[in-house]
């Protein structure tokens, strides 16, 4: 939900290119402080909060291709027929019989629903969904492009909602993995998992089987072999190996 725009001293704004289907008299901008604002003739400047996806803030909106002349003609024909039936129904309501009025009124209601259905379908066909993560909007506009392909954006303080340019940095996937190891959220999650004595609900493994699995891991058994043997995913086995799951269980002797 948009909120009233309040200016911050020293904040820098850059325009976002929404492409050829951007609404008329509509402007979207992102700042180096990680805020997104829109400017319209009706509402002036407002801040967009957006939605949250996996803890990241994302901006979503719908853009529309222009309506074709053929579609507009069809809508105009519907409108004309509806107006004609409305006039006829108004006349029959006072001058005609009940059956005549009901018949025309029924035709009118069907035609109105037919027009609504056509407009919904036509509008959906020309709808374009725009979405962008706020931290990507910031780095794309305020940081130099990544030096190598497939780099990711990391939040230096591990707070996914702090999208100030000073808190964002391009990293390789390997650098980001190392960076995340020091996240207080990851550390706390691992600590809680290690303290958990009871297996997760619907767990396929028992404590005894985990002890045996860890023994085989220590012996260097292949991941494929363990996946087939214990009927769990490779990800689950990796978590057990790293101590994220079943961290309190020791390997069998």
Same domain, yes or no: 198 and 86: no
In the predicted model, what is the mean pLDDT of residues 205-234?
88
Within a domain: 105: yes
Same domain, yes or no: 93 and 211: no
Residue 46: alpha-carbon gap to chain centroid = 21
- Total number of domains constituting the chain: 3
DSSP assignment of 198-244, as one string?
A: SPPTT-S--HHHHHHHHHHHHTT--HHHHHHHHT--HHHHHHHHHTS
Least confident of 11-20, 185-194, 218-227: 185-194
Could you read off the pLDDT of 32-82 as tens digits, one per residue? 999 999 999 888 999 999 999 989 999 999 999 999 999 999 999 999 999
Within a domain: 197: yes
Those residues with Cβ within 8 angstroms of residue 134's Cβ, 6 or more apart along the chain or in another chain: 30, 34, 36, 50, 56, 57, 58, 59, 163
Same domain, yes or no: 18 and 107: no
Same domain, yes or no: 96 and 133: no
Could you read off the pLDDT of 156-165 as tens digits, one per residue? 999 999 999 9
**CA distances in angstroms from 54 to 57, 130, 161, 164, listed in the order given:** 9, 18, 11, 18
| Nearest residue to 135 via CA among 39, 18, 50 | 50
Within a domain: 149: no
């Amino acid at each position: 939900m948009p909120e009233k725009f309040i200016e911050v001293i020293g904040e820098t704004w850059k325009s976002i290119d929404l492409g050829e289907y951007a609404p008329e008299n509509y402007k979207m901008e992102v700042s180096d402080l990680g805020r997104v604002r829109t400017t319209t003739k009706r509402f002036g400047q407002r801040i967009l909060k957006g939605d949250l996806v996996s803890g990241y803030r994302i901006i979503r909106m719908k853009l529309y291709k222009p309506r074709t002349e053929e579609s507009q003609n069809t809508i105009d024909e519907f409108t004309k027929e509806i107006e004609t039936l409305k006039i006829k129904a108004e006349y029959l309501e006072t001058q005609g019989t009940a059956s005549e009025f009901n018949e025309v009124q029924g035709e009118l209601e069907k035609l109105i629903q037919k027009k609504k259905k056509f407009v919904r379908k036509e509008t959906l066909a020309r709808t374009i969904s725009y979405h962008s993560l706020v931290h990507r909007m910031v780095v794309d506009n305020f940081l130099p492009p990544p030096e190598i392909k497939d780099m990711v954006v990391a939040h230096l303080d591990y707070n996914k909602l702090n999208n100030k340019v000073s808190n964002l940095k391009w990293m390789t996937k390997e650098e980001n993995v190392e960076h995340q190891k020091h996240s207080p959220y990851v550390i706390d999650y691992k600590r809680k998992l290690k303290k958990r004595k009871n297996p997760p609900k619907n767990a396929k493994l028992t404590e005894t089987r985990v002890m045996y699995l860890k023994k085989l891991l220590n012996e260097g058994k292949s991941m494929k072999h363990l996946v087939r043997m214990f009927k769990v995913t490779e990800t689950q086995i990796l978590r057990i190996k790293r101590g994220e799951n079943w961290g309190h269980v020791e390997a069998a002797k």
